[in-house]
């Protein structure tokens, strides 16, 4: 009788013990799975961010850059609206001839048409700058979505044209029409807004000599010079560059980056 009376509690204890073990195991595995499932997106996020902004080491500010990266007698030449199959190679040859570097503010639409030029610009040690997909001069007045599409789209076009993850440290607003919003969107994607301190006004086609004079008069240590290798007739710019490069070097300037 006693035996029979005592037996159920013993059975109950074993059942409780087994149930507890099963519960711990089940919940333990579930918890591990849960944490790894939750951990996955957090682990993926930085990777994605890294992918969308390969060269970004530190967060980028929305401040507009108008001077060279390094202090001293340095000048940064920037070429906009390319790549162009006629003028970009000529500009690259002149730069290489003088061991000079420059920054190329390219349009996504043109980069897509001439990916080999994007690759050549990179192979020559130049830097890329995102000048949007389609050069919408009124970009600053557009919606945030449209601004993002133009800026991130241009960035993506350059990456695809390059054929690999490449640093694109700068963004330049079409026609220099900056706004807080365009700079903020660019900064979020790891690009600093790049302006200039010397406008060569080569886009007005004033003649090579006039371009040379404008740059000579405006240049100073730390200057960022606006020039164009795309978007129309750029023979004057190429001719002016052939004169400006030896002159800059003779003045003791080094060619650098913004």
**Catalytic residues, which ones?**
80, 228
* 97 vs 235 by CB, closer to Zn ion: 235
Q: How far apart are CA 246 and CA 223, in angstroms?
A: 17
Binding residue for Zn ion, selected from 60, 81, 225, 237, defined by CB under 5 A: 81
Q: What x-and-dash track marks residues 38-77 binding Zn ion by CB under 5 A? A: ----------------------------------------
Per-residue tokens: 37: 């499932």
- Binding flag, residue 157, Zn ion (CB under 5 A): no
Cα–Cα distances in angstroms (integers) from residue 34 to residues 22, 45, 79, 90, 102, in the given order: 18, 17, 51, 58, 50
CB of 245 to Zn ion, least distance (A): 22
* 106 vs 238 by CB, closer to Zn ion: 106
CB of 39 to Zn ion, least distance (A): 44
CB of 251 to Zn ion, least distance (A): 27
* 171 vs 253 by CB, closer to Zn ion: 171
CA atoms within 13 A on the CB side of 13: 4
- Binding flag, residue 229, Zn ion (CB under 5 A): no
* 196 vs 253 by CB, closer to Zn ion: 196
Q: Indicate the residue whose CB is closest to Zn ion.
A: 80
Cβ-proximal residues to 73 (8 Å cutoff; 6+ apart), any chain: 221, 251, 252, 253, 254
* 52 vs 109 by CB, closer to Zn ion: 109
- Binding flag, residue 110, Zn ion (CB under 5 A): no
Kindly state the helix (H) or strand (E) to which residue 32 belongs, with its residue range.
Answer: helix 2-52
Only one of the segments 34-42, 81-89, 207-215, 240-248 lies at the binding site for Zn ion (rule: CB under 5 A); that segment is: 81-89
Q: Is 142 helix (H, G, I), strand (E, B) or coil?
A: coil
- Own/partner pairs for 181-187, CB < 8 Å, 24+ apart? 181/140, 181/144, 181/147, 182/139, 182/140, 182/147, 182/151, 183/62, 183/63, 183/64, 184/62, 185/144, 185/147, 185/148, 185/151, 185/152, 186/60, 186/62, 186/130, 186/151, 187/59, 187/60, 187/61, 187/62
CB of 43 to Zn ion, least distance (A): 39
Binding residue for Zn ion, selected from 80, 110, 150, 157, defined by CB under 5 A: 80
* 104 vs 257 by CB, closer to Zn ion: 104
CB of 154 to Zn ion, least distance (A): 11
- Own/partner pairs for 14-20, CB < 8 Å, 24+ apart? none
Number of residues that bind Zn ion (CB under 5 A): 2
- Binding flag, residue 202, Zn ion (CB under 5 A): no
- Binding flag, residue 150, Zn ion (CB under 5 A): no
CB of 81 to Zn ion, least distance (A): 4
Cα–Cα distances in angstroms (integers) from residue 1 to residues 9, 15, 87, in the given order: 14, 22, 106
The contact set with Zn ion (CB under 5 A) reads 80-81
């Amino acid at each position: 009788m006693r035996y029979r009376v005592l037996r159920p509690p013993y059975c109950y204890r074993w059942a409780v013990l087994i149930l507890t073990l099963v519960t711990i195991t089940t919940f333990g595995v579930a918890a591990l799975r849960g944490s790894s499932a939750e951990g996955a997106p957090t682990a993926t996020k930085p990777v994605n961010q890294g992918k969308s902004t390969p060269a970004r080491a530190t967060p980028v500010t929305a401040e507009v850059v108008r001077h060279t990266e390094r202090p001293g007698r340095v000048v940064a030449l920037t070429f906009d609206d390319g790549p162009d199959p006629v003028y970009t190679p000529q500009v690259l040859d002149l730069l290489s001839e003088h061991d000079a570097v420059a920054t190329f503010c390219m349009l996504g639409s043109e980069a897509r048409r001439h990916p080999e030029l994007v690759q050549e610009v990179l192979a020559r040690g130049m830097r890329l700058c995102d000048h949007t997909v389609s050069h919408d001069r009124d970009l600053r007045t557009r919606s945030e979505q449209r601004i993002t599409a133009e800026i991130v789209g241009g960035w993506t076009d350059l990456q695809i044209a390059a054929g690999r993850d490449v640093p694109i440290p700068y963004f330049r607003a079409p026609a220099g029409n900056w706004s807080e919003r365009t700079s903020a969107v660019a900064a979020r994607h790891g690009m600093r807004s790049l302006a200039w301190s010397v406008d060569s006004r080569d886009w007005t086609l004033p003649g090579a000599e006039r371009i040379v004079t404008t740059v000579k008069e405006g240049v100073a240590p730390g200057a960022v010079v606006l020039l164009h290798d795309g978007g129309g007739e750029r023979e004057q710019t190429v001719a002016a560059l052939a004169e400006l490069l030896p002159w800059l070097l003779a003045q003791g300037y080094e060619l650098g980056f913004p």
